[in-house]
Structure 1
Amino acid sequence: MPSDQPQPAFVLVRPQMGENIGAAARAMWNFGLDRMRIVDPRDGWPNPKAVAMSSGAGRLLDEAQIFGDLDGALGDRTFVFATTARQRELTKPVFSPERAMQMVAEKVAAGEKVAVLFGPERAGLENDDIAKANAIISVPVNSEYASLNLGQCVLLTAYEWMRQSGEVVHEQNDLGSRGDWATGIEVEKLVEHYEERLEQAGFFYPPEKAEGMKLNLRNLWSRIRMTRADVQMLHGIMRQMVRWKEKG
């Protein structure tokens, strides 16, 4: 059964290759979407190549709804977006994938039934298809090479959906098993240790440049955020190098 999460339906219009349908299913499943509708697939349905390419998203394909025409696929929808990478002469509002998925999230949360249309691989949606949509999602691509694979377009749009649903972690600094972050005192002791040993090794040469070299070295340390384990390891490296030198 499809999930209970309110979400848009992704409608593949006249897809030509089973492999691309499978790639689209895989992309949807990656980002928590499972409402696929397929309109007039060229090679019929079910399609074993789609299942093979779906890589574990076969349940989504099993539950996909098949329609003979686009009107049938959109019959219960209250708002429709059409994806395209090409400029169209139709007078409709045009949104980026990010803004469009913001709108989809708002509309779905308000109880609307939203569809997002994706065209066939060779030339994308026809104007007759886009005429049935309320708005356009324009994918920003290289103007000299506007060809976008069906699976890629679904992936891009599905990712933006997940971003708007608040499930994307934009930054993470989890130390895991590495322990705690090093304190300022611990880093300062490490800096002093290295400066002392490098001084003994004659690294800060010539003398008139020594202060500038030390400043650059301290600046380097400050750009590296270290854990206590990192600091201990670097102390150990320097101690071992000194022992090795003394043995020689």
Structure 2
Amino acid sequence: MQVRVLGCSGAIAKDCRTTSFLVDTDLLVDAGTGVGDLTLEEMAGVDDMVLTHCHLDHIAALPLMLDAVGGRRTRPLRVHALRATIEALRAHVFNNIIWPDFESIPSPEAPFVTFHDIAVGQTLLLGSATPKRIEVLPAVHTVPACGFAVSRADGGAHWVFSGDTERNAPFWDRVNALEVAMLVIETAFSNREQALAERSLHLSPTMLADELAHIEPGKDYPIYITHTKPAETEEITSQIETLAGRQVSGLAQRDIRWLKADGILTF
């Protein structure tokens, strides 16, 4: 399996696209502005989308994608999300004011999109090109949110994505029970902005170290940092490297890497 990083920034700027990952060719994880780098054929080839939550940087490209390729598809795009996320999309995006209601276009019997409820702890089997198992993981954010663990349908190691989250002990309880190939975890703000990180339920480098300390001894896998604010990316990177160099618990001896748009992760 492979994950193509379409966007991994916490906001937009030149060469910075917001969160979205293409797993193989048929599954999108979140629909940030990075989706715009896909060709029409690539977008039309996506059968399923899973969303971590309803914030704009994670859903901005969904309505535009449906407009671009809805008519090219032979069946609706299936969007899987928490009930609260679906309700927010219906009320605030697909409401015939901000954007057309593509649940009923071109007809209620054959719409461009269908929405499907998920819940934390649930496991989904999705994908036609390469069947995938997606487990819905807990997240702690300002709106109902989740993360995901993705593996082949027949088993194997997982690509784990934290989604937007702050301190989250239940997440680690579950992750420690999985075979993990790699972890993608957010660190949105620098330590200088730690108060803002705590108020907005995001992580800073110091909080990241505290969270990674939950990884059980003997578990060793690459950890990719995502969702950094473009204005603070260099500062966040430097602070994480400094903490790791000081052998701070959680970061000591960890294989810390940084995501880049259009990167490919294989597992």
TM over 0.5: no
TM-score normalized by the length of structure 2: 0.28
Tell me which protein shows more strand as a share of its residues: 2
Tell me which protein shows more helix as a share of its residues: 1
Q: Which protein shows a greater Rg?
A: 1
Q: Which has the higher contact order (CA 8 A, sep 6+)?
A: 1
TM-score normalized by the length of structure 1: 0.29
